Chain A
Amino acid sequence: MSRSAILKSSLVKKYWMALTGLFLCLFLVGHLVGNLQLFIPGMEGQLQFNEYAKFMTSNPAVKILSYVTYFSILFHAFDGIKLTFENRKARPVKYAYNKPGENSGWASRNMALLGTVLLAFIATHMTNFWAKMHFTEMPMQTVDAEGAMLMEPLKDLHTVVMAFFNPSVNNMALVAMLFYVISMIAIAFHLWHGFQSAWQTLGVNHKKYTPLIKLIGKGFSVLVPLLFAVIPIYLYITQA
């Protein structure tokens, strides 16, 4: 079989889905660690968060990782859309009466729908924070917690984020917070199926390890989105 035929294979498309998906799980953990710093109160928290944001946008190793992340998101989305369309084509006539709930879970059947919600979320999320940080004039943090002048002023992403979820500054804060929470629910369902599914696609199905993978997958899919979602809720409530 020719090399091009291998590259076009359904299985190869799936290996890429699995690999990019698992990489994005790692990315989520990294992102979450950054976000959790928003819980640190006062100027100290502001300084730490802004320094972290600077590190994430300037460190060369992180830069490479962020390009892998952009690639993974785009590839995962396009590959997913392609697979979904091919799958639709594979059943041109639908059943008049079908009971898919008898044999499979809801999340496993709605990965494309959940993925679409996530893509919309990523687009708005990147416009709101990532694009501002990269391309526009930002408010600057010039002094540290003790009031001393900073050697180099920092882009004040902390203030941007706080204001975004503050109802007295942003009249869309409630909508933003709710959309964020809904998106985290979508990601939870997406991961509920996706995490363990990726391992199966890569050929890992083992008496000893698979139950463990499934358990970790479930824990991950609940815990990570939950922690993400708690932050905007907290910022909204404490600033209301």
Chain B
Amino acid sequence: MNLTLKIWRQSGPNDKGRMETYQVSDISPDMSFLEMIDVLNDQLVREGKDPVAFDHDCREGICGMCSMYINGEAHGPGRGVTTCQLHMRSFKDGETIYIEPWRAAAFPVIKDLVTDRSAFDRIIQAGGYVSVNTSGNTQDANALPIPKENADKAFDAATCIGCGACVATCKNSSAMLFTSAKVSQLALLPQGEAERERRVLRMVNQMDLEGFGNCTNTGACEVECPKGISLENIARMNREFLKASISSES
């Protein structure tokens, strides 16, 4: 395959940045999208140019690093896939492909396609944890009976890989899907009970502080999320927050 690539290039956080055009040829349709970028970078290095910086780690759809906005969609066309799991057979020979970084005030660009997503880490730090005894007498997880449906829903929420596609795709750059998945995975389980109220109040507060926008229920996040995280989680977080803010005494 021969392709024209229009890629966002930005040398650093303070550079204004611009789209630049590149040509790649002899791309195999079986390559992953990241491998295609590897080919381009190899070419750029040979030409003595600066390769395109992009995030990646596992290359098997579980780490959530490979953030790219491809042809107007987070992680490109196709559902339930990250960029590393997207294959070049999803594109046509001769096609022009636009590649941009996640766009959100809360995810500033570090270089080219690499953004700083530590805002997500701070949301987790604000309350996305449970207190457990780690002094050697840790309880068996199965000691607590949990209804199967709750266990399933908690597991589904926990499959969120923190990739940020939900923020990138949301017209408001809202982090509701991510935050609600992280609230839900614990709110559904007895282990999460102790910090239940504090958790949702603090995580939502941190989410607002980071400068993410307000959710308007367009549902775009759910469609683009590589893990199929459901909008049900957002409704659950809305409920949790409402309950907690009414009953909280502080």
Which residues of A line the B interface, CB within 8 A?
Answer: 1-3, 5-6, 8-15, 83, 86-87, 89-100, 102-105, 108-109, 111, 193, 196-197, 200-205
**Contact in complex: A203, B169 (CB < 8 Å):** no
Q: List 17 A-B contacts (CB under 8 A).
A: A8-B208, A14-B238, A86-B214, A87-B213, A87-B216, A90-B212, A91-B172, A92-B105, A96-B8, A97-B6, A100-B171, A103-B219, A109-B218, A196-B217, A197-B217, A203-B242, A204-B235
**Contact in complex: A11, B73 (CB < 8 Å):** no
| Residues from chain A with Cβ under 8 Å of B103 in the complex | 91, 93-95
4 A-B pairs closest in CB distance: A203-B239, A99-B72, A90-B213, A205-B235
Q: Is B104 an interface residue (CB 8 A)?
A: yes
| Residues from chain B with Cβ under 8 Å of A108 in the complex | 216-219
Chain B window 164-186, contacts with chain A (Cβ cutoff 8 Å), 1 for yes, 0 for no: 00000101111000000000000
Q: Is B220 an interface residue (CB 8 A)?
A: yes
Which residues of B line the A interface, CB within 8 A?
Answer: 6, 8, 19, 69, 71-73, 77, 98, 100, 103-106, 169, 171-174, 201-202, 204-205, 207-208, 211-220, 223-224, 231-232, 234-236, 238-242, 245, 248, 250
**Contact in complex: A95, B100 (CB < 8 Å):** yes
Closest to B208 in A: A10
Closest to B246 in A: A6
**Contact in complex: A9, B104 (CB < 8 Å):** no
Kindly provide the distance from the CB of B166 to the nearest chain A CB, expressed in whole angstroms: 11
Closest to A91 in B: B173
Closest to B175 in A: A90
Q: Given the known inter-chain contacts A90-B172, A96-B100, please indicate yes or no for A15 contacting B71, CB distance below 8 A.
A: no
- Cβ 8 A contact of B173, one of A87, A96, A99: A87
**Contact in complex: A14, B214 (CB < 8 Å):** yes
- Cβ 8 A contact of B223, one of A14, A87, A103: A103
**Contact in complex: A103, B220 (CB < 8 Å):** yes
| Residues from chain A with Cβ under 8 Å of B224 in the complex | 103
**Contact in complex: A201, B205 (CB < 8 Å):** no
Kindly provide the distance from the CB of A214 to the nearest chain B CB, expressed in whole angstroms: 12
Kindly provide the distance from the CB of A34 to the nearest chain B CB, expressed in whole angstroms: 31
Most-contacted residue by chain A among B8, B98, B169, B218 (CB, 10 A): B218
- Cα of A9 to Cα of B244 in the assembled complex, Å: 13
**Contact in complex: A200, B238 (CB < 8 Å):** yes
**Contact in complex: B104, A91 (CB < 8 Å):** yes
- Cα of A53 to Cα of B204 in the assembled complex, Å: 46
Closest to A99 in B: B72
Closest to A93 in B: B103
- Cα of A91 to Cα of B213 in the assembled complex, Å: 8
| Residues from chain A with Cβ under 8 Å of B220 in the complex | 100, 103-104
| Contacts A14-B214, A103-B169 known; 12 new A-B pairs at CB < 8 A | A6-B201, A11-B204, A12-B245, A92-B105, A97-B71, A97-B98, A100-B220, A103-B223, A103-B224, A104-B220, A108-B216, A205-B232
- Cα of A201 to Cα of B170 in the assembled complex, Å: 16
- Cβ 8 A contact of B100, one of A89, A97, A200, A201: A97
| Residues from chain A with Cβ under 8 Å of B104 in the complex | 90-91
- Cβ 8 A contact of B213, one of A5, A86, A204: A86
- Cβ 8 A contact of B214, one of A13, A95, A109: A13
Kindly provide the distance from the CB of B165 to the nearest chain A CB, expressed in whole angstroms: 10
**Contact in complex: B172, A203 (CB < 8 Å):** no
- Cα of A206 to Cα of B241 in the assembled complex, Å: 17
Kindly provide the distance from the CB of A33 to the nearest chain B CB, expressed in whole angstroms: 29
- Cα of A203 to Cα of B243 in the assembled complex, Å: 10
**Contact in complex: B72, A98 (CB < 8 Å):** yes
| Residues from chain A with Cβ under 8 Å of B105 in the complex | 89-92
| Residues from chain A with Cβ under 8 Å of B204 in the complex | 9-11
**Contact in complex: A15, B208 (CB < 8 Å):** no
Kindly provide the distance from the CB of B8 to the nearest chain A CB, expressed in whole angstroms: 7
Kindly provide the distance from the CB of B104 to the nearest chain A CB, expressed in whole angstroms: 6
- Cα of A201 to Cα of B180 in the assembled complex, Å: 12
| Residues from chain B with Cβ under 8 Å of A1 in the complex | 201-202, 205, 248, 250
- Cα of A239 to Cα of B130 in the assembled complex, Å: 71
Q: Given the known inter-chain contacts A90-B174, A96-B19, please indicate yes or no for A14 contacting B201, CB distance below 8 A.
A: no
